[in-house]
Amino acid sequence: MSAVGRNDTVAALGFLLALVTAVEASRRWHQAQEHRVQAEAAGRAGRLLHEAVEVTVGVNAAREYRPGPKRPAARAGAGRRATPAPGIRPMAGTVQEGVPEHARDILADPAWPALRARLAEVEKAGDDPGDVLATVAARRELNSADSVAEVLVWRLDGWQRQRSSAAAASGGGTTAAPTGGAGRSVPAGKRGVSSPTPRPPGEEQQRKRPKRGR
């Protein structure tokens, strides 16, 4: 990621954070004035802005992510259980490893099923869910979050959005399949090898027939 792009992203994130702060201040003021409708509207706007902030955090994390060495899979019968197939890992253990200080609250949070589903999608895409979870969690503090699980869901949404976009961009240079279709052999006459020009029927007989004298 270029320095210019990084600076633009940081500026956009700072702008969003400033908006979140302003909208929250507005919500509190309307609440103090007992303007219920305005306070609720400000609360909804603040939530949407907060989500946008966390999605942006996840996008940035995915852009700068450098995967570490993959953990070796444990052999069955070697004192540890074999690594489960992708998509069925018990994600509670992943949370306890990735964000141990918040694990208890996350597992009791109503947003935990959504977070577990996101982690399964990350693993299915080929990334280590524990490594990714620790990466997005470290991008910005979580102590002030009302729901740490929900914040991590938003960050993983941004992560997946960026990874999908990067995968689509890298796959744009693939060569097109031959016109004849994949898996079909092209006849020899269409490979640039010259083939004899077919002659009209009876031409050989006409050449061999003796000429009649006049």
Chain-centroid distance, C-alpha 166? 8
Range of the domain at 162: 3-66+85-168
Residue 152 lies in a domain: yes
CA–CA separation, 149 and 106 (whole Å): 5
Token pair of 171, please? 């796959």
Do the domain assignments include residue 210?
no
Report the pLDDT value the prediction gives residue 106, as an integer from 0 to 100. Answer: 96
Q: Establish if 33 belongs to a structural domain.
A: yes
Residue with tokens 């240079």: 173
Residue 19 falls inside a structural domain: yes
Number of domains in the chain: 1
pLDDT in tens, 17-65: 777 778 778 888 988 888 888 888 888 888 888 888 899 899 889 988 8
Q: How many CB atoms lie within 10 A of CB 123?
A: 21
Tens-digit pLDDT profile for residues 178-187? 444 444 444 4
Would you say residue 183 lies in a domain?
no
What pLDDT band is residue 8 in, cutting at 50, 70 and 90? low
Domain annotation covers residue 30: yes
Mean pLDDT of the residues in the chain: 75
Portion of the chain with pLDDT greater than 70, in percent: 63
In angstroms, the first-to-last Cα distance of the chain is 92
Residue type, 6: R
